[in-house]
Every structure is written in C-alpha cells, then in structure tokens.
Amino acid sequence: MPDVKPAMRVIYIPILLLFAAFLFLPLGMLFVRSFETADGINLSNYLTVLSNAELMKSFGNSVKISGLTAVITTVLAFFLAYSIHCTRLYSPLKSVIKTGILIPMLLPTITFGFAIIYSFGNQGIITKIFGRNLFDIYGFNGLLIGYVIYTLPSAFLLINNSFKYMDKKFIIVSKLMGDGTIRSFLNTIIRPLSGTLGGAFVLSFILSFTDFGIPASVGGTYTVVATQLYQVMLGSIPDFNNGAVIAILMLIPVVFSVFLLNYLEKLNFHYDKFSDIELTQHKGRDICFGGISLLVLIGMFSVFAVMFIAPFLTSFPYDLTFTLKHFIDTFQSSDLTAVYKNSLFVALMTAVLGTFIAFSSAVLNVRTPLKGKSSMDVISMLTNTVPGMVLGLSYLLLFNGSSWKGTFAIIILCNMVHFFTTPYLMAKNSLSKMNPGWETTGNLLGDSWIRTIYRVILPNSASTVIEMFSYYFINSMVTISGIIFLVTAQTTLVASKIKELQHFAKFNEIFILSLLIFFTNLVVKLLCDHYQKRQFKH
C-alpha cells in the first residue's frame, strides 16, 4: 500500500464534508426538530404522535402488511432461484426467468399501483377476463400485490447470488450418504441459505415498510406510515415537528432490521472453493419448479400488461379501438416533456456525480492507508439505513428556508446520498480483489498516485463503474419516496408528476410517462450491459 499522499486528502476531505452537510447535518436537524415545541425542547411531540390512535394504527398496519409481504416474497424468490440453480430446466427458460423477474426494477413503484387498479379494479383487464371482481383491490390486497412485485426482484437477486456461491457438490455427497429428500434439502440447501433467506425477509420488510409509491396509488383507506408521514408534512395543516417524530419512529424498525441483517450475515456459509457439478435427472422436480416460476412471472406480467395496452386504446375499457392520439398529445404537451427532461437531467447528474463519489470513497477506503478511512463504511451503513422518505424529509427541514430550496442540486444530492450504499459496495468489492502491488508498481514506473489510479485502477474497474452508473441512473429515474418532499413546480420529476396526475384521473398520461421511464431505463440498462460485456472480453 502506498504512503499517505496529499492527493488522497484532497479527495478525502471534500467527501467527508459532503456527507457531513448532506447526511449528518440533516439527520441531526431531524432529530432536533422532533423534540422542538413551542415551549422548548421536550417529549410532547412524541406523546402527541404516540397517543394518536390513527397514527398508531397505521404503524400496526405497516408492520403487519410488510411482514406478510416479506414472507410471501421470500418464498417466491426462493422458488425462482431454486428453479435456476437446482433444476435442469431448459436454459433459455432460465434466462427468461432471471431477466423477466427484474423488470419491475425499471419502473417507479407508484406505477405498480395504477397497473393493479387497471388490472384488478372494477373495469380492469383481469376482472373482465374472470367476469367478476376477484377481491377488493383498494387497501390491503392491492398493497400486498404491489409490495410483493416491488420486493421480489431484490429478494431474488440476493438469494440467486447466494446460490451462485453455494457448493452444489454437497447435494451429491448428501445423496451418496443415503440422505432422504427432506434431509438432503434441509442440509444442503436450506441450512447454507438460512442467512440469505433471513436477509431476503428483512430486506423485503424494509422496502415495503418505507415505500411511498404503492400506498400513494392503491392504499385506499388502509393507512400506512409512509402515507401518514406525507399527510402530516404536506397535508392541509402541515406539522413539521410531528412529521419529524414520525420519521424518527419510521427509522426505528429499519435500524433494528439493519442490525438483524448484519447478524444474519454471520449465518452464511463461506465455501473456499466451489465447482460446477452436474445435477441429477428429475423430471417431476423440473416440471414442478418450472411451472411455479412461470406462474409467478406470468402473474407479474399480467399486472403490467395493461400499462402497455391501455394508452394505445381510445378509451380503455369502453372504446377499444387502436389509437396513437394519447401519445401524440403527451409528447405535444410541453409540460410533460419538460418533466421528462427534468427526470433525465437529474438521473444523469446523479449517476455521474454519484459514481464519482462512491468510487472515490471506495478507493480511499480499500487502497490507501489514510487514517479514518473506515468512516466510509460508517457512512455507507448509515445511507443504507435511512429510508428515502426520511432523508428527503430531513432535507426539507434543513434547507426549507435557504436558497437551496426547490433546486435540482438538492434533489441530485438527495439521490446521491440515498443510493450511495450499493454502488459503494460494488466498487469496494471490485477494488479489494485487485493486486495490492499496482500502486507501488505504478509509482516505481514513474507515476504519481493519482496517475496510477487513472491509468491502472480505473481501466480495470471499468466494468464496475458502468454497473454503478447504471444502478444510480435507474434508481434516480424511479424513486419517488426520496424526492417527494423536495420537488417544486419547477423541478417536478416524472415519478412525482404521476402522483399529481392521479388527482385528475389522467391514467393514459400516467402510463405513457411510466412507459417513458421504463424504456429509458431499459435502454440505459442494455447499453450498460453491452459495454460491461465488452470490458470483460478484453
């Protein structure tokens, strides 16, 4: 490892200052405001909130529905991952499952709600197909479907990844030792995966608990914490101090969950070496798991199908003639195209600056001997913990009176901080695998530290940097919980515009905007994947 160079400090200090100003300060402010009352600092805000029966009920609702979502999602995600890794399904079908399940990630959660309404509602496609209302979608049922679709891709990625690093030789060994199906399954699949399955549960719980988009669209009268927080902050009588209290209370289960996640991490098996091994033939197993996976996928697609159909019809579901009128109208409306441009701008800026900050932070932590470099890990744990809504709210409290209010800068910074953890960990992981002698070698060959980073470390991280960019871009395009408190009429983004259009029941516009986000994200994702593959070929 190289000695401490001034160049390292030149990068380190501004990054620390950035997080001080846009993570620690706002959260500190939030904390203070939650105790602030007309008669000074005391607990009365907390007492007000805790004695509010409706608020407490929505807390209970949130916990209940998030818990149920987490159970369903974990089970489904496990089925999907198992189909991919432990069956001899036709391999193109495996690719379809692997790719298809990730599609919801390209859409804002608020769109899920409207897709559900248009599928299962009184006039919905699925309702028409079955000839009757399957169930009441506003409230519990709609939320549950939305949350499961929303959390399934993340849970799947987590479990799928663990399966990849699991030594499947043990399945064969267990068979040879005479284990029955159940014992073999428990010992070679469930036990090694227990940490990950727990992790998938906790992750699904946090995601549902803190999401705003789904309850905003399909929540009905079933109140949850996220909608309550929005009501208190931006409702008819805004109450910033009580909002701060709710945000703090929202943080508590999440903090608890993050500790639980760290604990569960310890349950995971770490195989030194793992080798690919042929799986045994078993037609029944393959048909069973293939069938279930396809059903999950079809179920998910059927919900989104309406989004691709309705905007092309004159007046769904009454007049089903094909038309491009809605599209032409939308694209001619300068209002909507401006919103789309805003979103693009914010996503692009977030992706560029965010990737720069996350990559620099990882370089400082992994490849320098700087004192206090592990503060980057603390920051990343914190950004992982704070839900978007809480972060956005704390920005609102801190910057409300300042000239930062209503700027794009504040939205971009919020996204950068909100989504920091994953890209940072991506970079850290890739940088720590690189040869520790490169900086010394570069130095001996006449390069300064920063030049070695540029000439050697960066080119060898190209694939990771592209992945980080893609992650930041897509998440900035779809997030609503992070920015809902920060947008103004001038800085509206597509996701928040959809929320606005809801009040005017302009569902065609909602779907067209959603499609715009979807295809933009799809293009960015495909481009990034393409460049990533090209990097690997070298």
Partner 1 sequence: MLKLQNISKQFDGKSVLDHINLEIKTGEIVSLLGPSGSGKTTLLHIILGLTGINHGKIIFNDTDLSNVPMKDRGFNIVFQDYALFPHLNAYENIVYGLRNRKGSVSKEELQEYINFLELTPHLKKRISELSGGQKQRVSIARTLVMKPKILLLDEPLSALDGVIKESIKERIKSIAREFKLTTIIVTHDPEEALTMSDKILIINQGNISQFGSPQEIINQPANDFVKEFILKQLEIKRENIYNLFGEKYA
- The site for partner 1 (CB under 8 A) is made up of 3, 435, 437-438, 440-447, 455-456, 459-460, 462, 538
Q: Which is nearer to partner 1, 345 or 531 (CB)?
A: 531
Q: Which is nearer to partner 1, 284 or 446 (CB)?
A: 446
Q: State the Cα torsion 504-508-514-519 to the nearest 10°.
A: -160
Question: Cβ of residue 369: shortest distance to partner 1, in angstroms?
Answer: 12
Write the Ramachandran bin of 400: left for phi over 0, alpha for psi from -120 to 50, otherwise beta: alpha
Question: Cβ of residue 359: shortest distance to partner 1, in angstroms?
Answer: 16
Q: Which is nearer to partner 1, 291 or 436 (CB)?
A: 436
By CB neighbour count within 10 A (0-12 exposed, 13-18 middle, 19+ buried), where does 93 fall?
Answer: middle
Question: Cβ of residue 357: shortest distance to partner 1, in angstroms?
Answer: 23
Q: Tell me the two tokens of residue 198.
A: 């727990």
Question: Cβ of residue 373: shortest distance to partner 1, in angstroms?
Answer: 18
Q: Tell me the two tokens of residue 163.
A: 């399966």
Contact 162, 196 (CB under 8 A): yes
Q: Which is nearer to partner 1, 372 or 459 (CB)?
A: 459
Question: Cβ of residue 530: shortest distance to partner 1, in angstroms?
Answer: 18
Question: Cβ of residue 367: shortest distance to partner 1, in angstroms?
Answer: 13
Write the Ramachandran bin of 492: left for phi over 0, alpha for psi from -120 to 50, otherwise beta: beta
Question: Cβ of residue 463: shortest distance to partner 1, in angstroms?
Answer: 10
Question: Cβ of residue 455: shortest distance to partner 1, in angstroms?
Answer: 8
Q: Which is nearer to partner 1, 9 or 183 (CB)?
A: 9
Number of other residues whose CB lies within 10 A of the CB of residue 122: 10
Contact 2, 443 (CB under 8 A): yes
Number of other residues whose CB lies within 10 A of the CB of residue 230: 21
Distance separating alpha carbons of residues 511 and 498, to the nearest angstrom: 9
Question: Cβ of residue 7: shortest distance to partner 1, in angstroms?
Answer: 14
Q: Which is nearer to partner 1, 372 or 436 (CB)?
A: 436
Question: Cβ of residue 457: shortest distance to partner 1, in angstroms?
Answer: 10
Number of other residues whose CB lies within 10 A of the CB of residue 30: 25
- Indicate the helix (H) or strand (E) that contains 239: none
Q: Which is nearer to partner 1, 133 or 440 (CB)?
A: 440
Q: Which is nearer to partner 1, 194 or 443 (CB)?
A: 443
What is the chain's percent helix, strand, coil content, to nearest 5?
75, 0, 25
Upstream peptide bond of 317 is cis (omega within 30 degrees of 0): yes
Q: Which is nearer to partner 1, 280 or 435 (CB)?
A: 435
Q: According to the 3-state scheme, what is the secondary structure of 260-312? A: HHHHHHCCCCCCCCCCCCCCCCCHHHHHHHHHHHHHHHHHHHHHHHHHHHHHH
Contact 155, 203 (CB under 8 A): yes
Q: Which is nearer to partner 1, 279 or 462 (CB)?
A: 462
- What's the gap between Cα 457 and its chain centre? 28
Question: Cβ of residue 421: shortest distance to partner 1, in angstroms?
Answer: 27
Contact 474, 524 (CB under 8 A): yes
- Give which of 444, 250, 469, 276 is closest to 355, Cα–Cα: 469
Question: Cβ of residue 460: shortest distance to partner 1, in angstroms?
Answer: 5
Q: Which is nearer to partner 1, 180 or 436 (CB)?
A: 436
- Give which of 40, 219, 247 is closest to 137, Cα–Cα: 219
132 phi/psi in degrees, rounded to 5: -155, 165
The distance between the two most distant Cα atoms of the chain, rounded to a whole number of Å, is 76
